[in-house]
Amino acid sequence: MTLLEKNELDNIKWDIIGLGEVRPKGEALYDLQSRNTICYRGKERGGASGVGFILRKYLTANVLSSSDRVEQMIVKLSNQQKPRIIQIYMPTTSHIDDAIDEVYEEIDGLLNQDKASHTIIMGDFNAKVRAGEQVFGIGVRNDRGDKLVDFAVNKGFRIMNTFFKKKPSMNWSK
């Protein structure tokens, strides 16, 4: 983590930050000089996938690894409050649809495993969605956007970045 990144973290209030497209090989959990912890899981050979979290030290025991595209943690705040956070990095449009389906199946499996008081699925879905006449991101909904919207509707989730009203010129995506 660079000095600039550390300074930026000092300017916000946070406990958990999701990471996508983490490129190091394998799996690691280590302490940073800032007394926070970084954990990630990437492919054994390295590559463009990989997910993880930067988290406060006291949350380290809550991380449950899954795959190089999906990482989960369940935070036990109390006996009644156990939110689940799933960080994902969905394959890009250059990947076959089967790769996308595998990630959604993995997410679905995690949702069926453990009981949590709340669930947040966050990360990069590599999808373009459209809410009404307002476009979020550049362009119109693509096939991956259809799949994301169908998944969200079937699971009772909301796609939160569609709730922010911006002028079309202020919406962007890489």
Q: Average pLDDT by consecutive 10-residue portion of the chain (174 residues)?
A: 62 84 71 77 65 81 69 82 88 81 91 85 84 54 84 88 68 51
What CATH number corresponds to the domain at position 96?
3.60.10.10
Q: Which domain holds residue 90?
A: 3-126
**How far is Cα 90 from Cα 70, in angstroms, rounded to an integer?**
8
The confidence score (pLDDT) of residue 135 equals: 47
Domain count, the chain: 1
C-alpha 85/C-alpha 131 separation (Å) is 24
79 within a domain of the structure (yes/no) = yes
107 token code pair: 């997410």
SS3 category, 89: strand
pTM: 0.76
Q: Is residue 164 part of a domain?
A: no
Give a yes or no: residue 83 inside a domain: yes
Which tokens is 46 given? 């390295």
Task: Say if 159 falls within a structural domain.
Answer: no
**Would you say residue 94 lies in a domain?**
yes
Taking the CB of residue 84, how many other CB atoms lie within 10 A of it? Answer: 21
Residue at 30 is within a domain: yes
Look at residue 124 and give its three-state secondary structure: strand
Q: Establish if 157 belongs to a structural domain.
A: no
What pLDDT, on the 0 to 100 scale, is given for residue 121? 93
Question: 99 lies in a domain?
Answer: yes
